[in-house]
Amino acid sequence: MGHFLFFLLAIICVGSVLGMIISKNQAYNALLLVLAFASLGGLFGLLDAPFIATVQIIIYAGAIMVLFIFVIMMINLRLGLPPEKKKWTLYFSLGVAVVLIVELILSVKGAFSLFENSSMEKIGGPTDLGRLLFTKYLYPFEITSILIIAALVGAIVLVKKKEKE
């Protein structure tokens, strides 16, 4: 049952990401990305980490992507890219792809050694996560929150400026 669910979710996840890359309609792209996030949440759930699974769905699928789709549906975008940008994006995306593949291989290698050392039991619980965030990882946590607040304030300032003009 677990294996069946894993492969089902993995196929949905990879398939929707592929579809997202191939499809040229922005709204479909965003919706396929939502599907990918949702199935990723399901995969976290299979790994006995229900907290991360639900938070993944609430934040990525439920909040961030809604805003993406909101904007895409409001401003009617053209299908695909304009031809003068196409050549430039090809080279750029090839470079980015190579860097990302190298990073992926390295991180997967690192994850395997981590997997052997740590016990699987203590990943998912909200209590453990909260305790770790407020003791061991307090500084990264606070710095991240300051970064997010700065981005939020910046967004508000940008919007305000436009209104005055």
Which residues bind to another protein, rule: CB under 8 A?
Answer: 27, 31, 34, 38, 41, 50-51, 54-55, 57-58, 61-63, 66-67, 69-70, 73-74, 125-126
Comparing CB distances to another protein, the nearer of 103 and 142 is: 142
In angstroms, give the least distance from the CB of 20 to another protein.
Answer: 15
Comparing CB distances to another protein, the nearer of 113 and 135 is: 135
Comparing CB distances to another protein, the nearer of 59 and 98 is: 59
In angstroms, give the least distance from the CB of 81 to another protein.
Answer: 22
- What is the identity of the amino acid at 137? Y
In angstroms, give the least distance from the CB of 34 to another protein.
Answer: 7
Comparing CB distances to another protein, the nearer of 17 and 129 is: 129
Comparing CB distances to another protein, the nearer of 6 and 50 is: 50
CA distance 96 to 101: 9
- What is the identity of the amino acid at 138? L
Give the residue from 68, 60, 12, 5 showing the smallest Cα distance to 37. 60
In angstroms, give the least distance from the CB of 154 to another protein.
Answer: 19
Given 3-state DSSP classes, what are the helix, strand and coil percentages for the chain, each rounded to the nearest 5?
A: 85, 0, 15
Complete DSSP assignment for 53-117: HHHHIIIIIIIIHHHHHHHHHHS-PPSS--HHHHHHHHHHHHHHHHHHHHHHHHHHHHHHHHHHH
Neighbouring CB atoms inside 10 A of 64's CB total: 14
| Structure tokens that stand for 26 in this block | 């922005």
In angstroms, give the least distance from the CB of 58 to another protein.
Answer: 5
